[in-house]
Amino acid sequence: MRDTAKHQGLRNQLVTVLQQKGITDRNVLEAIKKIPRHLFLNSGFEDFAYQDKAFPIGAGQTISQPYTVAFQSELLQVKKDDKVLEIGTGSGYQTAVLCMMGAKVYSVERQNELFKSTSLLLPKLGIRPKQLSFGDGYKGLPNFAPFDSIIVTAGAPFIPQPLMAQLKIGGRLVIPLGEDVQVMTLLIRKNETQFEKHEFGDFRFVPLLEDKN
């Protein structure tokens, strides 16, 4: 679990790249500056960990590119102690960014191998989400709802109804929507029945699978 001055230097460079790509949220940039992304990757990728690229992490999943993590995190507008539901824990890197931003994170992962490895890794790094769950992300976590915001880190063909129901009024849901290429989509809940929708260009994600535990 080594994190060296060289790693820190590479993180500082990564933050500069993200700023050049338009990320402005100080909270997001500070979190990315602090979190040792190389520890979330297979050691074979360590030398590439601070490039703005996605990498495989096992179970057919990927760790999203840092720009995507930063972009989604920025859209959430996280405030300290916000309750955030994350669908797709994956490597735990996005989880760590949200925790570092001051969120109380409830995360769901449907791949048991990833769920186990991430549950072990995060505490070693001093990162403590409120809840890591193994289960179907389409269902969310109704027992812990409502949430200030919800982030989905896999491409979805549609917005799962249970997730919309678990969002607070005024809350923000960030989800990549689409089959092959996804459009980053933000829903803001206006009242019991109305949501305001914003779209932010194309991204590529692994698919969000339903009932595949």
Rounded mean pLDDT for each run of 10 residues along the chain, 213 residues in total: 92 97 97 96 86 84 90 96 96 97 97 94 96 94 97 90 97 91 93 95 69 46
- pLDDT for 205 equals 67
Rounded distance between C-alpha atoms, residue 32 and residue 41, angstroms = 15
CA 36 to chain centre: 15
- pLDDT for 212 equals 45
- pLDDT for 56 equals 83
CA dist 113 → 58, 61, 69, 163 (Å): 8, 11, 22, 24
Q: What is the pTM of this model?
A: 0.93
The DSSP bridge partners found for residue 86 are: 107, 151
- pLDDT for 120 equals 96
State the pairing for strand pair 83-87/104-109.
Answer: parallel
Catalytic residue numbers, as ranges: 64
CB 85 within 8 A of CB 144: yes
